[in-house]
Structure 1
């Protein structure tokens, strides 16, 4: 550890006491802790300041700042203190103007950074985590490349000259004279790139979630889980329908031990789903998630509902984790994997969207907040309230390439005059997102002669 190896023991000693505080400038108790640490530059005694805090809608983090009064060497970094997410995340950003340089970025030490046009990559675990901007990310990369240039010029001038040319190309990117592509791929799922147009969709930024490979799990220190074998049949669905299964887990808020209940439920006129609910006795946090109990459908499903009556808010709704939610009148799109799978009502979904975009948005509070962003999100929240109250004429679109989402037809078994159900063939990109292009279901295990 660059700060003398003290962060780990300090964290393990104090995290049990719940010292992670919400970001609040008026909280006098949320003060950094100072620890004497070994300077790795001059090997004298320096000072490390630690602040354990929570970023709303993000994670618990440890912010550390080291300074040495002897050689004046400094080092700052950010470490995620939360749990590793269930899926990895990849952000692809097309930078077209200098304003894009101001986008805020959370980059963990497990994230890989790439710039496609320069064929440049910063591998995972070669830099400490940071909270900065795109410009700060480039400055940090330039500083790392320039660090050993004096030695290279003396020992290998040709390599030093080539590296100087590359550094100049990297510096020119900050002027954004030409469009370039930045990719941040984080298997832990804890990195983030700001969307300055929230709650509208950012046309220049695409976000995808993926299942980690065994190699990525090993790099993150995650051990494979092998379920215990018992005498129950593995495919005894009748038993599972009449039984609530309970398994141990950790609370996503306070990380205390909790229990998750799981049950198979049959939705009328639809299919079987798996409902999972977690209730934490320590902090009172509650969460629920729904997953489809069947296979991926042959065709995707697009459900369009025209809201004409406040009674529509009570319609039952199943949103799978592969489903996108669109409100064309608000130019709003909620991508797949956001909010996860949910079995709720239409009103419950809209309230969850408002909470996600307005209440728990990390860029509406603290130093990241801007008046323009806060005003746009406040207007968006008021429009959601009007939709719930039946004061806006809008359409709600549920687009699920996997075909596992559902919206209640209150006229069933007759057709619903305000709802349109469309089946469509998935594109290659949608099959790629669902992992179907590389899936082999016929002749599996056979070898060719």
Structure 2
């Protein structure tokens, strides 16, 4: 049996050119979990090499239980030293058949339509120019039923834009496709390679510090202006430990504190206390910023079990409202928390049902116990995704947060409203008598 050389592994046995005539080019099949129905589906992996480009990994998932499927590509190489920008002049229908590798970090633009797909909003794909257009159309059409119900004018404008995108495939007029990728791992086919393609321009550029952070090759802290020895920088990089007393049994305990940047929100301080004596554990969240000028009211429509996995930052001043249960938890209750929707609902159930002194004992009302039991059962149904409901975070200070899983795009199941605090709210927060200027002057 002949030995397998390193060159054979790298060039022949693992990554091969896509060819319908090569029977050895077969995908590897792996049983994997479907994130739609949580049953087992099949993932197919194909390691291939694109001519005049590089090696890539094509993965395709399909579920025989619910029919869910998706396809994406990943670069099998490292992030390149420079970013790359492809500018293609699409002049004829044959140009629509050009092979395109669009990495997740790439920005796609069509200047003639003032159209742009931002980076990290789509998974990487191996497609054609026509496939990119079809995918853009599908993405815009996905939320059209909701838009037609909520904002018919916007839906009509998007319908018109979709027609413009579809008309591009007729190539009645020349248009430009630009793919700009700071990772350098995107690609547009040159059908006359290795000769120069007059309709395709390739340029390289140096990445910015922000792009390095987005690609994960530079820590976020490198962008900070504070010196490395500052207190704020230390808090970002380390977990600070303080000696305190357990709030439950008063025994000596340790409190861990860390400054955390929540994506698309702000910095918060998370404190956690664990007591070795009685086992009591607690966590608390404080905003790392100032009081906002406007209050925030966040409404999430829970329609799917995955919605309860969203991250939640509930500040001390935030009220929690569940209209379907006619329930409102006032500000101050439960304190500040950084958890998930499921964790918040479980804490509410524990507070209202589990630790409620009116539920236990001989003097408790049977009717009251029954109502609280039904309330707990409804919360369990919401957590399990069996009961659609709205959860509202109303924070007059504006320091609460609920994760938008579609970020940076709008979330169709979530609305965020800004409002001016009332005099009564400012009075309760102690803001009416607060002086931030001239406070040292005598009255």
Q: TM-score, normalised by structure 1?
A: 0.47
| Greater RCO (Cα-Cα under 8 Å, separation 6 or more) | 1
Q: TM-score, normalised by structure 2?
A: 0.48
